[in-house]
Structure 1
Amino acid sequence: MSTASVVTGEFEAVDQQRFALSEGSRFIGAEAAAAAGFAEQAFICVDIPTGRLFSTTGEPGAGLHLRADLDVPVGAAARTAAGGWIAAAGTSVIRLVQEGGLLRAGQTLAELPVANTEDGSASSTAPAQRVNDAVADPHGRFWPGAMGLEGEEGYGFITRVDPDGQCRRVTDAMTIPNGPAFSADGATMYFAETSQGRIMRASIDVATGHVAEPELFAQVEEGNPDGMTVDAEGCLWQAVYGGGCVLRYAPDGSLLEKISVPARQPTSVALSAEAPYRVIVTTAAQELESPSGHDGRVITAPVSVAGRVADVFAGCPRAPRGSGLRPVMRITVLG
């Protein structure tokens, strides 16, 4: 591992709020933030169980500003090429529409193939499921994961939503999928099987989105790999739930740095692509009897390496209109 840290200052809280399960941090860039009416708040993140989306500048004490409030869990949000928003919410991918100063649930773009058995066939006895993390790739596709509400074994998977609105399951049965994250050319996808401590890597056909057989990229021995991002140097940043750290890996899988954070359950990580560079780390307070330090808070620190502006979804011009979201119970399980 390198002896010089890419984190050049102390981690501090963006906001004093504690969240059960904040996640889905992204850097959308100054231009997109301004177009969305977020002023200079170019970082976004979600609180999964309460269905809320926030924006922030990522500076210490800058605060988190509510941008969306949904009636179902929300795993992550992304900008669209046309300047709108989509979100992985409930068991669907939906458009977000402006209403009363907030983004609200709009048209359903895709339904995830939930209520399936471990082999992918339909089952009437499958546990309730929800979306988990999700991200757009450099070629305009959107990749949401899903899992059982209680993290039931074998009921997690990752899907691919293409610009034409088609939704396809792309992984075998998992338990708690997290990520994914993509290389800058979109040819490599990383994702985590959180419950097994594994970070996986798969080649992507950039023309079709086809996912090759995944291979083990890294095994996390202490804690569980959760959300992730790829920086401008092609290195993977991996939040480790229960490990109190973020791991930075070189593209070849070698560990460059273990970055300690003042929270026990980091859930996702995002890096600014515009100087001065900062990292924000979302964390979770769920299942902690006595949250302390920055448990459950969104925290930030200066860094010496740039991230990438989050990719956008190319759109679903022919997506069928749905009847809205199917409500599911609010949850506080590992995500």
Structure 2
Amino acid sequence: MTSTALPTAVVVDGAYELAEGGRWVDGRYVYVDILSGRLLELRDDTEPAAARQLARLDVPLGAVAPVGDQPGAWIAAAGTGIALLTPDGALEWLDRPEDRTPVPSRMNDGVADPAGRFWAGSMAYDGTPGAGSLYRTDPDGTVVRVLDGLTVANGPAFTADGALMYLADTAVGTVLRCRVDPVSGDLCGAPEPFAQLRDGEGGPDGMTVDEEGCLWVALWGAGAVRRYHPDGRLLHTVTVPAPHPTSVCLHPDDNRLFVTTARYGVRSPTAASGAVLSLDVPVRGTAACAWRG
């Protein structure tokens, strides 16, 4: 395992409280600022880099995925549930399962899988242990609770064939590996431990799988990103100039890693905290999958 500090560019100094959910969608980098409910995009051909706001909600916005065959439409993990976000910024709720939880909670990170389902996690506002869940939204719009007993469900990430899903529980420092039936979307057995971070190593946050099948993990509180081999071996650690990296996204056509960061909880934030960062890396990723609703 090697550890390096690669040259890092601040692409957007947005002073975001909690930037998250970075994805590559239709030739642009799309991400959210959770607590302000904003959806933003950064186009690859814009110089100098300038983020454009696509929508602003009156509830926290955890993550989005594009809706197949509906340009400008998104499925969103927002507020207490899952909603469709129309091109004009209106929300059409599919379900709000976190309205039915015993403690005030919100949706968090989410992603669409290669089969066109949308997966998103939740968490209690006060971090109540075990209050978080993982939900799957099927193409017919049905929202299913797949797992519970999580604390801060984060970063669902899928392999290219959709047969493996990685899921982080940030609060307990665990990355789980879940086998998924690509046809039904059901989990095949119980989640398996993939990586366990020790005290002082940060908490696993947003994740992505690269073109070689390796897992990249943003480490909240540690100012670092890790790359793991599919067998669980830690291959590389890259430090970043912000204590709270929140999500990672690999450019599908260029050897660049985009990292969102947060100002939330940072006593003396710099331009790199609450920003979008860019680093040159030796591998590429894949574009975000769409929800086929």
TM-score by length of 1: 0.82
Among 156, 174, 178, the alignment partner of 1:198 is 174
Instruction: Give the equivalent residue in structure 1 for 2:11.
Output: 14
Offset of 1:293 from its aligned partner?
A: 5.0
Instruction: Give the equivalent residue in structure 2 for 1:47.
Output: 33
Instruction: Give the equivalent residue in structure 2 for 1:39.
Output: none
Which string of whole-angstrom CA distances, capped at 9 and with x for unpartnered residues, describes residues 99-138 of structure 1? 3xxxx1332123335433xxxxxxxxx1111100010000
CA contact (8 A) 1:244 1:263 kept: yes
Mark the runs of 5 or more structure 2 residues left unpaired by the alignment.
none
Matched residues in 2 for 1:179 and 1:15: separation? 22
Residue identity in the other structure for 2:192: E
Matched residues in 1 for 2:110 and 2:280: separation? 25
Residue 196 of structure 2 is aligned to residue 219 of structure 1: yes
Instruction: Give the equivalent residue in structure 2 for 1:123.
Output: none
Offset of 1:85 from its aligned partner?
A: 1.5
Offset of 1:57 from its aligned partner?
A: 3.2
Taking only aligned residues, the RMSD between alpha carbons, in angstroms, comes to: 1.7
Which string of whole-angstrom CA distances, capped at 9 and with x for unpartnered residues, describes residues 10-55 of structure 1? 111111221111100001132xxxxxxxxxxx11110000000111
Matched residues in 2 for 1:284 and 1:60: separation? 24
Instruction: Give the equivalent residue in structure 1 for 2:78.
Output: 89
Offset of 1:174 from its aligned partner?
A: 1.0
Q: Aligned pair in 2 of structure 1 residues 114, 231: CA closer, same or farther (>3 Å)?
A: farther
CA contact (8 A) 1:245 1:259 kept: yes
Instruction: Give the equivalent residue in structure 1 for 2:247.
Output: 268
Among 127, 143, 147, the alignment partner of 1:171 is 147
Offset of 1:60 from its aligned partner?
A: 8.7
Offset of 1:179 from its aligned partner?
A: 1.2
Matches within 5 A, 1:50-199: 50-57=36-43, 62-83=49-70, 84-99=73-88, 104-116=89-101, 126-199=102-175
CA contact (8 A) 1:21 1:47 kept: yes
- Give 1 or 2: higher strand fraction: 2
Matched residues in 2 for 1:252 and 1:143: separation? 23
Offset of 1:168 from its aligned partner?
A: 1.1
Offset of 1:292 from its aligned partner?
A: 2.4
Instruction: Give the equivalent residue in structure 2 for 1:301.
Output: 279
Which string of whole-angstrom CA distances, capped at 9 and with x for unpartnered residues, describes residues 175-225 of structure 1? 101011000000000011111100110100111111131011011121111
Instruction: Give the equivalent residue in structure 2 for 1:245.
Output: 224
Identical columns (%)? 44
CA contact (8 A) 1:15 1:60 kept: no
**In the comparison of the two structures, how many residue pairs are matched?**
287
CA contact (8 A) 1:262 1:293 kept: no
CA contact (8 A) 1:77 1:87 kept: yes
Matched residues in 2 for 1:285 and 1:20: separation? 5
Residue identity in the other structure for 2:80: T
Offset of 1:98 from its aligned partner?
A: 2.4
Mark the runs of 5 or more structure 1 residues left unpaired by the alignment.
31-41, 117-125, 316-335
